[in-house]
Amino acid sequence: MTSLEQMLARANVLVCVGSGGVGKTTTSAVLGMHAAMNGRRTLVMTIDPAKRLANSLGIRALDHDVLPIDLRSVGGPRETLSATMLDMKRAFDEIVERQAPDPATRDAILGNRFYRFFSTSLAGAQELSASERLHDVVRSGEFDLVILDTPPTSNALDFLDAPMRFHDALDSSVVDFMANLGERVGRRGLLSGGSQLVFRTLTRFTGTELFTELGEFLHHFSSLFEGFRERTRATAALFAEPETRFVIISSPKPDTLGEARYFRERLQQLGLHLGGVVVNRVHQPFHENRFAEAAPNTLADALDTLEGADLLGRPQLLRLARKLLANAHEFDRLALSEATAIAELATEFGDGVPVLPVPLFPSDVHSIEGLDHMRKAMAQGRVSSGS
Amino acid sequence: MSTSRNRLLDHRFIINTGKGGVGKTTLSVAMAMAMARAGRRVLLFQFNVHDRVGPIFGKPPVGPEIVELAPRLFAVNTTPPDAMREYVLMTLRVRLLYRAVFENRTVARFLRMIPGLPELVMLGKAYYHEGESADGRPRFDAVILDAPATGHGMFLLQIPRVISDAVADGPMVGEAHRMAELLRDRQRTRINLITLTEEMPVNETLEYQRRLREELDIEPGGIIANSVYPTPFSATEVRQLRDLRDTLRIRTNNNHDSGERDLSSMLEAALFRDARCAMQKGYLDRLEQESGAPVIRIHHRFEPTLDAAALEFIATELSSGGSTS
Ligand SMILES: Nc1ncnc2c1ncn2[C@@H]1O[C@H](COP(=O)(O)OP(=O)(O)O)[C@@H](O)[C@H]1O
Ligand SMILES: [Mg+2]
């Protein structure tokens, strides 16, 4: 079995995590494509608002709706692959609509000027929306495999902690505190000495208006808390299922790979399952190349045997040879340090965790053919070979 | 264009923005090195990160206390509560109250919910150090802010939103106005947009620049394209290499012996390098055309990890206004 197949075989949910800029979205699409090529009904859920993924998939734009992706141009099935783009704001709106106790509260929340910030920028809000949508599509039973491309957090670990942080931020003590103060603002005399001090100091800083309005918003928003807690519990249960696997997407730089270690530890602590590591954009080595350590003369000699080289003359050939060697040497330095870091990680993670290097291509992946090319490169990695 | 290039390190306040992984920290450190080398006292200001800068200088990770990592090169890594405390103390000037009120757990949580406040206090603290004096003269000649990558690097945009969306009056509004003025003061402040020459980062950089102009009336000092591969092969050489590769292909018809295979991979590696360089060139051209701002290029370094010695190379590049190829 190839590493890629091992990564996909055991899962019906794959959560792709990793720092921004490592190719998470493209990799998620390729993983989905491979499963779909093998006949599994697969949904790729991306958060990437850029049009590029849509273009690569051969469609004009992706939005909140689920769209089928035709794979016939690369010899695949017509309707096993689907894709959708998560619109954070809309996903959060849906949560509010579903969980508000009554239409009046719902409107009060959606119409509040703090709402936009709360639903998109407060720590954990994006992850909460993503988990919620994931939960819905998985439970719909329409797909054999759902792949989630997580929000571009600066740190892979954020995704695990985010729902908790959101809860923490919205802890009911804050709401009670605000409500308590807010109620008595008009009757200052009723504030105890301590609360009065707190209120006066805070408002000197924030202004009274912000204070009262935020308090009012929190009061409405807190009616959703019970729902949030319940949903978070349900999502946590989904994450903990053995068929839900986390895939770490990383660059081959030693410092980024280091993050994969922390992530694995955190997963273990939380009782979650690691499905594998994809190391994207790996440089190819040259140290086994006979010319790499040879003198420029040797390489120039070899070039000289090629037809057309006689047009160039010895000094020119030598200059080319030197540059070729310098170039190979630079790549080799990178390749070597990358290969060492990857091998260490693979040994440490053991046989159960496929570690899959993907080569750096000469150009960006721009089309469905490009995705398929990357897929084929990924499909070559064998589980036992260790690289 | 050449004058703005030379001004890369002239400002008292430099803000390096960009999405995660583009090299903000790397370039911030290299800038600080370049300035310290030129005899200026510089403070590198990081916001709540898992610090890697201390270890580069053989020191422990930098925390909320200002430390001198190398002669004239100072660093601090502040956390939101720290920045908040200092900021509130500066504006309220009531030390006693601070503990009673702001260190209350519930209050701290409440403060975290105020849109834009963490950004505001961070910037406030950084500007405070820029204007700080010790023994009758400025404590630092320059402050370099390694901006947080959160909110897609758009943190500056959040600050005026505090005014328009959340707060109508009070000290926060006054502070937000003051910050917006400081950001717009091009004599004092230079905002760099750091990017890689890849599609997504380039798109996001152009988008960010547009929003800075439209929403904040801020003209960034420049764009820094980081990690640009140097182009070792001239166009003629590339043509020659391609011809040689093609003859080798025809000769061996893809059945080469190991010597031919090694030769072929040498040639392919060169052409691969050229293809990536050409791709980068396309993105650099786009950046220049669509931004209308100077684009400074910093070369990719091939060392496996960027230690102080490697950063010195980047510092030198920055001192001379970036590379030209
Ligand atoms: N010019 C460069 N050449 C080679 N590697 C670089 C260069 N700039 C940054 N890097 C590497 O890229 C990675 C991300 O850089 P970093 O400065 O941490 O980015 P940020 O602070 O923007 O997240 C690090 O591994 C760093 O060593
Ligand atoms: Mg950084």
Is the pLDDT score of B127 beyond 80? yes
Which residues of chain A lie closer than 8 angstroms to B267, CB-CB? 324
**Model confidence pLDDT, tens digit, residues A137-152:** 999 999 999 999 887 6
- A262 vs A291, residue with greater confidence: A291
CB distance B225 to B287 below 8 Å: yes
Report the gap between the CA of B293 and the closest CA in chain A (Å). Answer: 23
Query: Which residue among B94, B165, B247 places its CB closest to the CB of A307?
Result: B247
* pLDDT for position A387: 35
> Does one domain contain both A315 and A367?
no
Q: How many domains does chain A have?
A: 2
Q: Which of residues 274-313 of B touch A (CB under 8 A)?
A: 275-276, 279, 302-305
- Number of the ligand closest to the Cα of B22: 1
pLDDT at B3 over 60: no
* Domain assignment of residue A384, yes or no: no
Lowest pLDDT segment from A35-44, B130-139, B257-266: B257-266
Ligand closest to CA B153: 1
Asked if A43 and A137 count as a contact pair (C-beta separation under 8 A), the reply is yes
B46 forms beta bridges with B77, B146
- Considering the domain architecture, whether residues A223 and A91 belong to the same structural domain is answered as yes
Same domain, A72 and A135: yes
- Same domain as A152, residue A13: yes
Ligand closest to the CA atom of residue B306: 1
Give residue B224's pLDDT band: very low, low, confident or very high (50, 70, 90): very high
**Tokens at A251, concatenated:** 């660059």
Mean predicted lDDT score pLDDT of chain A:
84
**A163 vs B195, which has greater pLDDT?**
B195
pLDDT band at A386 (very low <50, low <70, confident <90, very high): very low
Interface of B with A in 215-254 (CB under 8 A): 232-233, 237, 240-241, 243-244, 247-248, 251
Q: Which of B193, B306, B318 to mutate to test the pocket of ligand 1 (most atoms within 8 A of CB)?
A: B306
Is residue A283 within 8 A of residue A336, CB to CB? The reply is no
The residue-averaged pLDDT of B204-218 equals 90
Are residue A126 and residue A241 in the same domain, yes or no?
yes
Any idea which of A150-154, A320-324, B15-19, B50-54 has the lowest mean pLDDT? Answer: A150-154
The pLDDT-based confidence of A126 (bands split at 50, 70, 90) is: confident
Distance separating the N- and C-terminal Cα atoms of chain A = 14
Of ligand 1's listed atoms, the one at least distance from the Cα of B29 is 17
Q: Tell me whether B153 touches chain A (CB under 8 Å).
A: no
Q: Which residue on chain B is closest to A340 by alpha carbon?
A: B304
pLDDT category, A189, cuts 50, 70, 90?
very low
pLDDT of res. A53: 73
pLDDT score of B63 more than 90: yes
* Verdict on whether the full-model pTM lies above 0.90: no
In this predicted structure, what is the pLDDT of residue A188? 47
Find chain A residues with C-beta within 8 A of B266's C-beta.
286, 289, 291, 299, 324-325, 328
Q: Is A282 helix (H, G, I), strand (E, B) or coil?
A: strand
Pocket of ligand 1 (CB under 6 A): A 253, 255; B 18, 20-26, 149, 226-227, 298, 300-301, 306, 314
Specify if A185 maps to a domain.
Answer: yes
Q: Report the alpha-carbon distance of residue A123 to residue A166 in Å, rounded.
A: 6
Ligand 1 pocket test: which of B16, B19, B25, B26 has the largest number of ligand atoms within 8 Å of its C-beta? B26
Q: What is the spatial distance between Cα B125 and Cα B89, in angstroms, rounded to a whole number?
A: 11
Q: Is the pLDDT reported for residue B225 higher than 60?
A: yes
Indicate whether A326 and A179 sit together in one domain: no
A30: phi then psi, degrees, rounded to nearest 5: -70, -40
Per-residue confidence (pLDDT) for residue A384, from 0 to 100: 40
C-beta atoms of A363 and B276 within 8 A: yes
What confidence score (pLDDT) does residue B79 get?
83
Q: Quick check: is A290 in a domain? A: no
Full domain range(s) for residue A319: 296-336
CA distance B284 to B23: 17
Q: Which of residues 157-216 of B touch A (CB under 8 A)?
A: 158, 161, 165-173, 196, 198-201, 203
pLDDT of the residue at B289: 96
Across A2-16, A356-370, B237-251, least confident range: A356-370
What's the confidence (pLDDT) of residue A258?
A: 83
Say if A385 falls within a structural domain: no
| Per-residue confidence band for B258, with pLDDT thresholds at 50, 70 and 90 | confident
The reply to whether residue A201 touches residue B263, judged by beta carbons under 8 angstroms, is no
* Whether residue A304 sits in one domain with residue A176: no
Whether residue A105 sits in one domain with residue A15: yes
pLDDT band at A77 (very low <50, low <70, confident <90, very high): very high
Residue range B42-51: mean pLDDT, rounded: 90
Give residues with Cβ within 8 angstroms of B276, minimum separation 6: A362, A363, B229
Closest Cα to atom 11 of ligand 1: B23
A-to-B residue pairs, Cβ atoms closer than 8 angstroms: 192
CA atoms of B126 and B136, how far apart (whole Å) = 19
Partner A contacted by B151 (CB < 8 A): yes
CB–CB contact A21 B19 (8 Å): yes
pLDDT at A177 over 60: yes
ipTM of the complex in this document: 0.81
- Cα–ligand 2 centroid distance for B69 (angstroms): 18
Contact A363 B113 (CB under 8 A): no
Asked, for residue A365, whether it belongs to a domain, the answer is yes
Q: What is the pLDDT of residue B6?
A: 55
Q: What is the pLDDT of residue B2?
A: 40
Residue of A162, A151, A177, A149 lying closest to A13 (CA atoms): A149
The verdict on A88 and A104 lying in the same domain is yes
Report the range of poorest mean pLDDT among A180-189, B84-93, B214-223: A180-189
A95-120 residue pLDDT tens: 899 889 999 999 999 988 788 777 87
Q: Are A251 and A240 in the same domain?
A: yes
What is the tens place of the pLDDT at every residue in A213-239?
777 888 888 888 778 778 778 888 888
**In a shared domain, residues A253 and A274:** yes
Which residue is associated with the tokens 């709402």? A115
Taking an 8 Å cut-off on Cβ atoms, the answer to whether A19 and B166 are in contact is no
Most confident among A54-68, A76-90, A144-158 (mean pLDDT): A76-90
**B residues 64-83 closer than 8 Å to A (CB):** none
- CATH H-level, domain B3-230+288-319: superfamily: P-loop containing nucleotide triphosphate hydrolases (3.40.50.300)
Q: Could you give the CA distance from residue A162 to residue A157 in angstroms, rounded to a whole number? A: 9
> From the CA of B47, how far away is ligand 2's center (Å)?
9
Same domain as A111, residue A18: yes
